Chain A
Amino acid sequence: MSRREQRLQQQRVTRRRFLGLAVGGGVVGAAAAYGIVQLAGGDDTKQSAGSSTTASSTQPVSPTETIPAGADSAYARVGRAYLQQAPEESSTDALQQALPPEFTAGGAPNWGALGPQVGTDYTKGDIVTLDGWRMSRTEARAAAYVALTAG
């Protein structure tokens, strides 16, 4: 067990001991244990140049490829959440008008075409919350488009 793990363990034991003392064995605890989980697979080779993660980078990352998303996917769920928030946009025509033309020009959604408009959204503060996710309105519209068109 590493020193850090020992320290964490000690803190937990201490907290448990306190709880045992004060609560008589009941479990109290704001956020007692939390996780960082490495997600399986993938690589970071698609990072765009300059997509540094500190303040020196101000450009949002531009998606560079199309990723399949079915109607049951969490992504489509996000899109449906947007349509609930903005029912006036609940048609592919309305969404196509609001999205960059290149997004659907080739038939399948082209996420790579969203980048500049996403950046503008962030600059303007045009951000929405969908299913908990904070995202630009353009990203939300793209998800909504997928929700409407995914098979």
Chain B
Amino acid sequence: MRGDVCIVGAGAAGITLAKTLAGSGRSVVLTESGALESEAETQDLYKGPMVGTEMQSASGPLTLDQIRLRFFGGTTNHWAGWCRPLEPIDFGPTPARPDIAWPFGREELDPWYEQAGALCQLGPFDHTYQGWTSAGLSQPLLETDLVTTRIIQVSFPTKFGELYRGDLRQASNVRVLTHANLVRFDTAEDGGAVSAAVIKTLSGNEFTVEARVFVLATGGIEVPRLLLASNQTRPKGLGNENDHVGRYFMEHIDVGGGFAVLPQSTFDMSLYNGKDVPVSGPGRLSGRTIQLKGAHILTDKAIQEHELFGIEATLESSPIDEGPVQDAGIKGPDAGTVYEQLTGRKPGVISYVRLLAEQSPNPRSRVTLTNEADPLGVPRAQLDWQLAKADRESMRKGLAIMADELGRIGAGRLQVGVGGIEFNQGPAKTLFELYKVTPADFTRPEFPVSVGFHHMGTARMTSDPKQGVVDPNCKVHSVSNLYIGGSAVFPTSGTSTPTFTIVALALRLADHLQKQVLV
């Protein structure tokens, strides 16, 4: 099979690329391992060992096949739809991570974020609180020198596989292959260019796709797996001359941060609970509403002066009469009494604080290959996730800054409790019983962590070929026609959920291919 472009992986990046190239006059082959719905046999191809820091869940540590989806649409089949661009400070070096930065600033991605908003079914590209004042949002809880407010636009959530399937089907220049598993890239003799993608099916078929350009867009774990497995001409794997492929694996630490107690009737919490607002725009946005949700992040001043990684705090809610939320009422009077004693004010609202924290790029946090092969003969991946002590300490300090700012301006108080997996279902008398942390967690070097299922950094983007895997155009430094799509290329993780940035980068890559490569 031949095409101008072969895209491997039909997730947010791959579908965005294929959809953008539809009608371009260039032939596109989009291969997807899974079907249109999940199938256990295909999902099992994700299995592999996890060592290092445990990713916790209520039922125990997570496994590699639980944290990803391997069918058409990829992880957009289960994402929550939260969209916020990376902050400008996420692109540059900071005192906490002075040695790594993106090769360009936020302004480079802004036009692509704007276009990504349409694909993600968002409103206008503005994620500042000030930009949405006309939407009637309630006042933010915190707006100080150290803590500021951002607006998360919540997509429907847009399931790329379902929504854009029709567009791809109608595109005469796009061919979509499901149940088509890349097992390796074949290269020219010197390994400097990919000659073919070798595809296998679980039913035993094998064929190749030849193309001028290949884009690997299979997620932050499968990208390094497949690069490392493509070692026929380059024994260390494609793009791995400097031993960066698979390293710097980053996740978003996604844990409870405690409970905020706020004075009664002071706040309209709709900013945090989410507010539906009508938006107008081209195509599918017309006549629809989106949800806006307030979040607090540390300011550049806080990050720089305190040498911190970023955190994002959201206040979560769901109807009071639903499930575990009822339990919060059990400890409410307890926290309320303390609050009242401390401040002399009647408590009105108690709210769970959810944290999403940046992880530092760490070369020891990595994806490697095991000696065991999957049914297609591809070595299984092993993830050795290494959350550094500095990551945990930074999160604690960042949350303390938020808590202290809350107290300083008299907006409320925060009983902090970093960690925790989920609410206990049974009766609980204290905050700590409620969501499975103890006061000792504040001094222990480790606390249980759950994660955002965001896999980043394993084929990071750098200008210097010696420091990363892909160049600023997402091309593998040492391979002339191989590009990487998705969050594997993120040099830093920031604190915003990655899909929006993945789509923006894919749009930018599509533009680059059309204007610079496929001419």
- Closest-CB distance, A78 to chain B (whole angstroms): 6
Please tell me if the beta carbons of A55 and B317 are within 8 angstroms of each other in the complex: no
Q: Decide if B133 is an interface residue (CB 8 Å cutoff).
A: no
Please tell me if the beta carbons of A31 and B291 are within 8 angstroms of each other in the complex: no
Please tell me if the beta carbons of B346 and A22 are within 8 angstroms of each other in the complex: no
Total count of chain A residues near the partner, CB < 8 A: 71
- In the docked arrangement, what's the CA distance between A122 and B323, Å? 38
Please tell me if the beta carbons of B409 and A131 are within 8 angstroms of each other in the complex: no
For the complex with contacts A18-B69, A28-B58, 6 further pairs of A-B residues with Cβ separation under 8 Å are A28-B59, A29-B450, A42-B348, A60-B408, A132-B417, A133-B338
Q: A28-B59, A54-B143, A57-B410 known; A47 and B345 CB under 8 Å?
A: yes
Give 1 or 0 for each of B336-352: 1 = CB within 8 Å of chain A CB. 11101111111111111
Give 1 or 0 for each of A62-87: 1 = CB within 8 Å of chain B CB. 11110101000111001001000000
- In the docked arrangement, what's the CA distance between A46 and B316, Å? 27
A-B contact pairs, 23 of them (CB 8 A): A14-B77, A15-B78, A21-B43, A21-B69, A26-B66, A30-B422, A30-B451, A33-B324, A34-B354, A35-B328, A36-B269, A36-B316, A36-B352, A39-B333, A47-B345, A53-B139, A53-B262, A53-B409, A63-B344, A75-B337, A111-B344, A132-B415, A135-B413
In the complex, chain B residues whose CB is within 8 Å of the CB of A131: 338, 415, 439
Contact surface of A with B, Cβ cutoff 8 Å = 3-5, 7-8, 11, 14-15, 17-19, 21-23, 26-39, 41-44, 46-47, 51-55, 57-65, 67, 69, 73-75, 78, 81, 111-112, 122-123, 125, 127, 129, 131-136, 139, 143, 146
Q: A11-B81, A22-B65, A134-B413 known; A53 and B344 CB under 8 Å?
A: no
In the complex, chain A residues whose CB is within 8 Å of the CB of B388: none
- Closest-CB distance, B448 to chain A (whole angstroms): 10
Quick one: which of A37, A112, A133 contacts B320, CB cutoff 8 A? A37
- Closest-CB distance, A49 to chain B (whole angstroms): 12
In the complex, chain B residues whose CB is within 8 Å of the CB of A54: 139-140, 142-143, 409, 411
Give 1 or 0 for each of B423-435: 1 = CB within 8 Å of chain A CB. 1000000011000
Please tell me if the beta carbons of A39 and B332 are within 8 angstroms of each other in the complex: yes
Residue from the set B269, B320, B333, B344 with the largest chain A CB neighbour count within 10 Å:
B344
- Closest-CB distance, A64 to chain B (whole angstroms): 5
In the complex, chain A residues whose CB is within 8 Å of the CB of B281: none
Of all chain A residues, the one with the shortest Cβ separation from B59 is A26
Q: Decide if B374 is an interface residue (CB 8 Å cutoff).
A: no
Q: Decide if B62 is an interface residue (CB 8 Å cutoff).
A: yes
In the complex, chain B residues whose CB is within 8 Å of the CB of A11: 80-81, 157
Please tell me if the beta carbons of B345 and A61 are within 8 angstroms of each other in the complex: yes
In the complex, chain A residues whose CB is within 8 Å of the CB of B322: 33
Q: A11-B157, A18-B69, A46-B345 known; A35 and B143 CB under 8 Å?
A: no
Quick one: which of B289, B318, B344, B414 contacts A35, CB cutoff 8 A? B318
Q: A36-B317, A51-B410 known; A44 and B344 CB under 8 Å?
A: no
In the complex, chain B residues whose CB is within 8 Å of the CB of A135: 342, 407, 413
Please tell me if the beta carbons of B254 and A67 are within 8 angstroms of each other in the complex: no
In the complex, chain B residues whose CB is within 8 Å of the CB of A78: 338
Of all chain B residues, the one with the shortest Cβ separation from A125 is B404
Please tell me if the beta carbons of B439 and A132 are within 8 angstroms of each other in the complex: yes
Please tell me if the beta carbons of B416 and A134 are within 8 angstroms of each other in the complex: yes
In the complex, chain A residues whose CB is within 8 Å of the CB of B404: 122, 125, 127, 134
For the A-B complex, the count of residue pairs with Cβ-Cβ distances under 8 Å equals: 263
In the complex, chain B residues whose CB is within 8 Å of the CB of A58: 408-409
- In the docked arrangement, what's the CA distance between A69 and B253, Å? 38
- In the docked arrangement, what's the CA distance between A136 and B342, Å? 10
Please tell me if the beta carbons of A35 and B157 are within 8 angstroms of each other in the complex: no
Please tell me if the beta carbons of A41 and B324 are within 8 angstroms of each other in the complex: no
In the complex, chain A residues whose CB is within 8 Å of the CB of B273: 4, 36
Please tell me if the beta carbons of B413 and A133 are within 8 angstroms of each other in the complex: yes
- Closest-CB distance, B289 to chain A (whole angstroms): 7
In the complex, chain A residues whose CB is within 8 Å of the CB of B58: 27-29
In the complex, chain B residues whose CB is within 8 Å of the CB of A57: 409-411
Q: A33-B325, A129-B416, A132-B258 known; A63 and B409 CB under 8 Å?
A: no
Q: A58-B409, A73-B337 known; A53 and B431 CB under 8 Å?
A: no
Q: A36-B269, A39-B333, A53-B141 known; A134 and B403 CB under 8 Å?
A: yes
Please tell me if the beta carbons of A37 and B442 are within 8 angstroms of each other in the complex: no
In the complex, chain A residues whose CB is within 8 Å of the CB of B416: 129, 132-134
- In the docked arrangement, what's the CA distance between A43 and B264, Å? 6
